[in-house]
Amino acid sequence: MGFYGDHVVPWLVDRAMANEDLLEYRRRVVRAAQGRVLEIGIGSGHNLPFYGPSVTEILGIEPSQALIDKARQRARATQRTVCFLQGSAEVIPLDAGSVNSVVTTWTLCSIPDVGAALAEMRRVLKPGGELLFVEHGKAPDPWVARWQDWLTPAWKPLAGGCHLNRPIGDLIRRTGFRTTDLRTGFAPGPRPFTFMYEGRACPA
């Protein structure tokens, strides 16, 4: 990836994910996880303090070794045992039907083949398992959506492949999930960057 991708982007991601405006979203989504959990794009481990006592095992997949190293430090600080998998969510190295919850927080924006990744998440979920998510994406406001489309080509190389304009709800449903809860709205901040999709989905 080069120096920028290997060192600058992980630092930027860690800083962005520390934003206090995201805490309540993070708390609600992560606390709903239970059993054996797979976290997609575990990053530097900001979600780890929010997993509840009903979680028996945490596996975290992440392509950046620099972010995994930071997450290991957070796992030690929170006394969480985490199995880290370095790689892409487009090919998850787990058996089918092997996890109870898949958690993804502000990750689907940057996966190159997001459809393949969502199909993999569906594959590894047990019957009755849930996808728990909060993501930013395409806004329903046409003016904001036009800005998102215009900004995304310039934003992607600066922000680790982040797309501002992905229609998250539609993408989840197109890959064989049924959304059982979906809440949308703007978080504080510039509108092209802050339209949130928060909810739950299960394999259809």
Mean pLDDT, the chain, whole residue set: 96
Domain containing 150 equals 2-203
b/e sequence 99-132, b meaning 16+ C-beta within 10 Å? bbbbbbbbbbbbbeebeebbbbbbebbeeebbbb
Positive or negative CA dihedral for 194, 195, 200, 201? negative
Mapped onto helix, strand or coil, the DSSP state of residue 188 is coil
Comparing CA positions, the residue from 4, 97, 31, 98 lying closest to residue 59 is 98
Specify the range with the lowest mean pLDDT, choosing from 10-14, 50-54, 111-115, 126-130: 10-14
Task: Give every CB contact of residue 36 below 8 A, 6+ residues apart in sequence.
Answer: 56, 57, 59, 98, 99, 100, 101
How confident is the model at residue 9, as a pLDDT?
86
Question: What total of structural domains would you count in the chain?
Answer: 1
Residue 10 pLDDT level (bands cut at 50, 70, 90): confident
pLDDT tens digits for range 16-54: 998 999 999 999 999 999 999 999 999 999 999 999 999
Which carries the bigger pLDDT value, residue 79 or residue 121?
121
Residue 59 pLDDT level (bands cut at 50, 70, 90): very high
How confident is the model at residue 7, as a pLDDT?
79
Comparing CA positions, the residue from 75, 132, 73, 68 lying closest to residue 100 is 132
Mean pLDDT over 134-149 rounds to: 99
- pTM score, two decimals? 0.96
Residue 1 pLDDT level (bands cut at 50, 70, 90): low
Q: How many CA within 13 A on the CB side of residue 144?
A: 18
How confident is the model at residue 3, as a pLDDT?
85
Mean pLDDT over 13-18 rounds to: 89
Whether residue 2 is predicted with pLDDT greater than 90 in this model: the reply is no
Mapped onto helix, strand or coil, the DSSP state of residue 109 is coil
Written as six digits, the tokens of 184 are: 């949308």
Task: Give every CB contact of residue 59 below 8 A, 6+ residues apart in sequence.
Answer: 36, 37, 38, 39, 82, 83, 84, 85, 94, 99
CATH number of the domain encompassing residue 141: 3.40.50.150
